[in-house]
Amino acid sequence: MTAISLRFLQSALATALLIFAICVAASPGEALSAAERDTPRPNILWIIVDDMSANFSCYGEPLIKTPHVDELARQGTKFTRAFVTAPVCSTCRSAFITGMYQTSIGAHHHRSGRGKLKINLPQGVEPLPALFQRAGYYTSVGSWPNNRPRLGKTDYNFEWDRSIYDGHDWSDRKPGQPFFAQIQLRGGKLRGGTLDSARRFAKKAERALGSSTDLKDVVLPPYYPDTPVIREDWAAYLDSVRYTDRIVGQILQRLRDEGDLDQTLVIFMTDHGISHARGKQFLYEEGINVPLIVSGPGIEKGITRDDLVEHIDIAAISLAAAGIPIPKSMQARDVFAKEYQPREAIFAARDRCDETVDHLRCVRTKRFKYIRNFLPDRPYLQPNAYKDKKSILISLRRAHRDGKLNKIQRRLLAPTRPAEELYDLKQDPHEINNLADDPDHHSTLAEMRKRLEQWMIATDDKGRDPETEAMYDSDMDVYRQSRRNRSDAQKQLEILETNISRMKQWAAEGK
């Protein structure tokens, strides 16, 4: 008997015993139906990628080939209008691991609750691994390759029990036990934040993939200047997409080799868009529109869907696939359910990122995007120690000082911003022409404004109240400590202190 056959028999036996145990323990109202008893529960695997937009060839990126992600799309369903509810990692991850808007659970400030003052989830809200664990699943979160015995990236903005994860890799599960696993990939972070690191990664990609992206082929969005630094960084970013695709192929091959691929629901997604001036941390398409592919048991093959979905929906999709009841209070939706009614709009929010205080909300329908800037007297690119040291930001600011930016590109460096932004995405996919003051779009502006206000009330948007100074100071103590061990610690601490003082000064001035 082959190892794969033995694994299949063990899986069938373990599944039967587990379902029997659940049926015995369940109350009469919770007993499994005959169909549920006869259906083996699938494994669930999330592949979550850092800092990457939908620049895969199956999404129309012309400069590179991504055969493994493309194949995953051919074997499943690809979503072209999938959006994160927060364009930065910790808030996004706090949302998808609970199936809740980060603004509803108080986890909307990036890397918050890390100091003396903590954030606890509202009563009745649990991280998804806890629900899977109680249902008999082995839960894991790791990186790739999973050869180090430590958990992969979590980055949640609330207090949580580490025991919700059984380990860093599903290989330690009991024979036949289904798994709920996450593999966290560095994605766009592979290229680093400096020109030197981008060049080093381009060489690494060339060794691993046989080539690197040709600089002369790069086409930049119109809102970025075509400087040598930005062009080289974008090429390295595309190489990070190719490198990520290679890893996805390795992960799928492992599932295939272990006989698990056909019984595993694979969900591929990124935690927000490309880390760039107008991408990560902002509510433009570059920051919130992400790839989402779902493939595996029960999923139609070769399907492309253009309805609006939110990244938190992966929580409901996963629970439903495993036959685990979706909590009634969960805001995520099973977009594959027979009774599913497609959304008319999606919502996203950006709040404090690191030391930089901000407050943005948006609503997006298939055609229009409305952004509300609650702090319009501040610049788009506020001081931020994390972003300002990136070579692309330095290059952008230098081009501005040298008078080399056109009207569209200068807007990002303006000292203030409009309170409202409205874009017709059909006519203006790059979100360049703000229609908020256009009389011809007055009714659309009013409708979108109303949609956003109703959502903020209905979902109990906790960002409506400013973060307390005590919580801000608590988290800033953590930021200070994190910079004391760096080679350029003194310089970074000085920058951080200057930015903190400016945030407090602007708040005192009502900005």
Q: Write out pLDDT tens, residues 493-508.
A: 999 999 999 999 999 9
Do 106 and 334 contact (CB within 8 A), yes or no?
no
Residue 116: what pLDDT?
97
Q: Which helix (H) or strand (E) holds 499?
A: helix 489-508
Residue 458: what pLDDT?
98
In this predicted structure, the answer to whether residue 30 has a pLDDT above a threshold of 90 is no
The confidence band for 148, taking pLDDT boundaries of 50, 70 and 90, is confident
Residue 387: what pLDDT?
95
d(CA 87, CA 467): 19
The chain-wide mean pLDDT, for the chain, equals 93
Q: Write out pLDDT tens, residues 101-123.
A: 999 999 999 999 999 999 999 99
Residue 38: what pLDDT?
53
More confident residue, 369 or 21: 369
Q: Write out pLDDT tens, residues 46-58.
A: 999 999 999 999 9
Do 244 and 49 contact (CB within 8 A), yes or no?
yes
DSSP 3-state assignment of 21?
Answer: helix
What would the two tokens of residue 427 be?
A: 């006519």
| 209 phi and psi angles, rounded to 5 deg | -110, -10
How many secondary structure helices (H) and strands (E) does the chain include?
A: 15, 12
Span 66-80, average pLDDT: 98
Q: Write out pLDDT tens, residues 4-26.
A: 344 434 444 444 434 333 333 33
d(CA 65, CA 213): 11
Q: Which helix (H) or strand (E) holds 360?
A: strand 360-364
Q: Write out pLDDT tens, residues 431-477.
A: 999 999 999 999 999 999 999 999 999 999 999 999 999 999 999 99
Which of these ranges, 33-42, 145-154, 274-283, 305-314, has the smallest mean pLDDT? Answer: 33-42
More confident residue, 7 or 160: 160
Q: Write out pLDDT tens, residues 166-222.
A: 999 999 999 999 999 999 999 999 999 999 999 999 999 999 999 999 999 999 999
User: Please, which residues bridge with residue 295 across strands?
Assistant: 76, 266
Residue 404: what pLDDT?
97
Residue 19: what pLDDT?
39
Q: Before 145, cis peptide (omega within 30)?
A: yes
Residue 1: what pLDDT?
41
Task: Quickly count: other Cβ atoms within 10 Å of residue 261's Cβ.
Answer: 18
In this predicted structure, the answer to whether residue 484 has a pLDDT above a threshold of 90 is no
In this predicted structure, the answer to whether residue 31 has a pLDDT above a threshold of 60 is no
Q: Which residues, other chains included, contact 220 with Cβ-Cβ below 8 Å and sequence gap of 6+?
A: 226, 230, 231, 234
- Crossing angle for the helix pair 391-401 and 228-257, to the nearest 10 degrees: 160
Q: Which of 272, 322, 349 shows the shortest CA–CA distance to 137?
A: 322
Q: Which of 91, 308, 268, 105 shows the shortest CA–CA distance to 185?
A: 268
**The tokens 């959502």 sit on which residue?**
455
What would the two tokens of residue 31 be?
A: 């007993």
In this predicted structure, the answer to whether residue 244 has a pLDDT above a threshold of 80 is yes
In this predicted structure, the answer to whether residue 32 has a pLDDT above a threshold of 80 is no
**Alpha helices (runs of H) in 53-174, residue ranges in sequence order:** 67-74, 89-96, 128-134
Span 31-51, average pLDDT: 75
Q: How many CA atoms lie within 13 A of 311 on its CB side?
A: 34
Do 267 and 48 contact (CB within 8 A), yes or no?
no
Q: How far apart are the first and last CA of the chain?
A: 72
d(CA 151, CA 143): 8
CA-CA-CA-CA torsion sign (442, 447, 452, 454)? positive
pTM over 0.85: yes
What would the two tokens of residue 45 be?
A: 């695997």
d(CA 217, CA 63): 7
d(CA 406, CA 147): 49
User: Please, which residues bridge with residue 43 across strands?
Assistant: 264
- Ordered by where they begin, the domains of the chain are 3-332 (3.40.720.10)
The confidence band for 40, taking pLDDT boundaries of 50, 70 and 90, is confident
What would the two tokens of residue 263 be?
A: 């019984």
